[in-house]
Every structure is written in C-alpha cells, then in structure tokens.
Amino acid sequence: MNTKNFQISFFFLLVLSFLDFPSTYAQYVMKGRVVDAETFQPVEFATVFINNSTFGDITDRNGVFEIPIPAGNYELVISFMGYQTFKFPFSTQELRESYEFRILQEPIDLEEAKVQDKRDREWFRNLKIFEELFLGNSINGKKSGI
C-alpha cells in the first residue's frame, strides 16, 4: 500500500469515527414537556439544560424538549423569565420515557419610574448642542428641528 492510499484510508476512518461519535456518547434521551402549573398551558421557548454540562434544549411551541445525554446522574434545570427556576435531579438508570414539568409563575416587581413634564435649562442647552452637531449649520440644517 502506498503512502497516499494509506493517508486517504486513515482520513476516511477518522471522519467516520467523528460522525459516529455522538451516537456512542449520547445513549439516553431526557424527554419532557414544560407547562404552567396553574393554567397547564405549554411554556414556549423555556431554557432546559443539564446543570454543569453543555447539554440543553429550548422548548418548542408545545413546551416539548429533548436532550440526548450519556449515562450518569444529573440535575435538570428549567428557567424562563416570569417563572421560578425549577431543578430536577435524576439518574439515567431510572429514566422514564417522558416527563411533564409544571413550573410556577414568579411575579417580577419593577421599580417605578418618574416622568417629568418640565425640563431645566441644562436640557435645552444640551438639545441646542445636539442639534448643531447632528443637523449641522447649513441652510437645511437650520431649517430642520427636533
């Protein structure tokens, strides 16, 4: 066998081993559905991931997710704005075919914002500087206003 044929064969085997790698690494699949605990409506686009790993998914329009994982003990984390973060420890040895996770809403309190109807002299001075720099000093710039 010449060197060129050996290199092609080696490269071909190397590519095949990388293509087959995910199927040998991820032996189990964590499947589930995320719903609101009060309304039982699906929670769309919630983040679902295995804690301390790179495995994760985002729920679809029906709240469904699917995460391929290798054998082991894990903690599933579900998070979505406006809901409490949900954690679920599990083992692939006791993995069910599918789960339904009901997450609780968590109200978000926003700070109040005050809107002033009067502007001070500093504001008008800054507006004049902005207009000069943004609109310019040409005839058209002077005819324009903000």
Residue pLDDT, tens place only, 34-55 = 999 999 999 999 999 999 999 9
Question: What is the average per-residue pLDDT within 70-76?
Answer: 96
Domain residues for the domain of 80 are 27-103
Residue pLDDT, tens place only, 90-142 = 999 999 999 999 999 998 888 888 877 788 889 889 988 888 888 888 888 77
- Split into its structural domains, the chain has a count of 1
CATH of residue 45's domain is 2.60.40.1120
Examine residue 76 and state whether it is found in any structural domain, yes or no: yes
DSSP 62-124: TSEEEEEE-SSEEEEEEE-TTB--EEEEEEGGG--S-EEEEE-B---PPPP----S---HHHH
Report the predicted TM-score, pTM, of the whole model to 2 decimal places.
0.60
